[in-house]
Structure 1
Amino acid sequence: MTTSCIIRHFEHYAELAGDDHDLLTSLEKSPQDYPRNTVIWNQGQQSEHFFTVQSGWACSYRNMEDGSRQVLDLYVPGDIIGLREFAFRRRVSNLMVVTDARLCPFPKYHLSEVFQSSRLLCNLFFLIAARDQAVLVERLINLGRRTAREKVAHFLLEMGHRLDKACMDVYDCNHLPLTQVLLADALGLSTVHLNRTLQELKQERLVSLGPDGTTLLDRDGLVEVAGFDPEYLQEDVDGMLKSLGKNVSPMV
């Protein structure tokens, strides 16, 4: 199995030819290890690199004027961080690892080389960016239109589905190593309200709670609570590959 963060991520979507392997490998720098709660960048800093997550978890967030924090997104093994900032010279949010993590940087300015050299990789980058946008849209609906109970169940299921894709790289695809403070900041809830909601789900044996995070016990039960539809997480890889007219097989 390849040790390249970028290649491992793209091979979740499609089988890559040798030229695509070589191109991605040439762009990637050495993996870097970060201890838990390390801030990788701050809003306003120069935007020069994307990162892929080889192991661990990270989150993007904005600090508010009243001292509170809004968590914008969470990143699991295999995710690409920074695509939303491709068009900007400076970072539009902060980034922090929430567990010990290994990230792989690659230069943003080399992305044009990828687009010129490989139609497959170009399409995959846009597919991933579109999926990220769909996640943000669903997150907006979650924040504005669902009850606290629905919000929590929906968010936990979303992260579980995203872990399923990275399951080869994580120990337990049902375990979310996230503090209740971070979950509250992601869902726009107070920690008291978040804890009360999690305790209700625990009593119904839908989740278990521990000092190292939350574990999903009954996904079907959580689906009933949240009315969860994972369609926004299921990219049309087959359609994209057919449009290229290439003999490339989607990965299972």
Structure 2
Amino acid sequence: MLDASATSVTLRRLPDAPAAEPARLRALAQLRHFHREQDIYGQEERSDTWYRVVSGSACKYLVRAAGRRQLVDIYLPGDLFGFTACLQHRFAVQAVSEGTVVACYPRHRVEALAKDDSETALEIRMQMVVALERLQEQLLIIGTMTAQEKVREFLFYFHRRLSADKDDGMALPISRYDIADMLGISPETVCRAITDLQARGVISLEGPRRIRIGRRQGGQSG
């Protein structure tokens, strides 16, 4: 998945971050820049660092015994990830966008900071809750809907994450093949569903990955 020539990263201090991030937590971070499809960390790698997407996007995935890759989650700017109860990561995470920037936090120092800094402790708890809610929503989409409903709700879901309070257009962070992987359906089914949604005016296409949600449908989930 990775070209050995693409493993070089640069490291520097984190610049001004959103006000929501506690200052003492931000002071522990260092930035790393990743190429598209470059692993941020791999399966079974030691879990001694936590991460936050600063710009770009990343995907969480598992390579099964047969060699098939299964996408589990998508991380967007602001998402904190890398939590695990074990000493090693069960899943891997790789950059989706070229030039993805990720803040890296030494796990042991963040855990120590959280003991006496209530802002940091609250930030970590909130990020864990958000991640759980995100995965629960994805589970509902995958487990309770028809193939076409899965695609529609997936698009609405990312519209809420990417375009809230902006406009009705969004650039999907992953390809249709990756959408199919996350939803457990074929790429052909994803393409047919998108074509049908476009024909019915639920969405409009503004390029290979840019989609605009119809104003009446954008706030609905059924």
Q: TM-score range by the shorter chain?
A: 0.7 to 0.9
**Which residue does the alignment assign to 2:120?**
121
Divergent runs of 4+, >3 A? 3-7, 164-167, 208-212
Structure with greater contact order relative to length (CA < 8 Å, sep ≥ 6)? 1
**Which residue does the alignment assign to 2:73?**
73
Residues 70 and 104 of structure 1, relative CA distance in 2, 3 Å threshold: same
Residues 1:200 and 2:199 are matched in the alignment: no
1:188-241 per-residue CA deviation (whole Å, 9 max, x = no partner) reads 1111111111111122233334664141332541554x32xxxxxxxxxxxxxx
Conserved 8 A contact 2:168-2:214: no
Residues 165 and 5 of structure 1, relative CA distance in 2, 3 Å threshold: farther
The gaps in structure 1 that reach 5 residues or longer are 228-252
The alignment partner of 1:27 has SS state of coil
Of Structure 1 and Structure 2, which has the larger fraction of its residues in helix? 1
CA distance in 2, matches of 1:106, 1:136: 23
CA distance in 2, matches of 1:139, 1:160: 14
Task: State which drifts further: 158-167 or 95-104.
Answer: 158-167
Aligned residues: 209
The alignment partner of 1:44 has SS state of coil
**Which residue does the alignment assign to 2:148?**
149
Conserved 8 A contact 1:43-1:92: yes
The alignment partner of 2:201 has SS state of coil
TM superposition score normalised by structure 2: 0.83
Q: Which residue identity does 1:70 align to in structure 2? A: Q
The gaps in structure 2 that reach 5 residues or longer are 1-12
The alignment partner of 1:138 has SS state of helix
Conserved 8 A contact 1:5-1:104: no
Aligned pairs for 1:43-192 within 5 A: 43-83=43-83, 85=84, 87-100=85-98, 101-164=100-163, 174-192=170-188
Conserved 8 A contact 2:169-2:213: no
1:138-164 per-residue CA deviation (whole Å, 9 max, x = no partner) reads 211211111112211212222222224
Conserved 8 A contact 1:177-1:214: no
Identity %: 24
Question: RMSD of the TM alignment (CA)?
Answer: 2.6
1:63-108 per-residue CA deviation (whole Å, 9 max, x = no partner) reads 223443221100111111213x2x2110110111111111111111
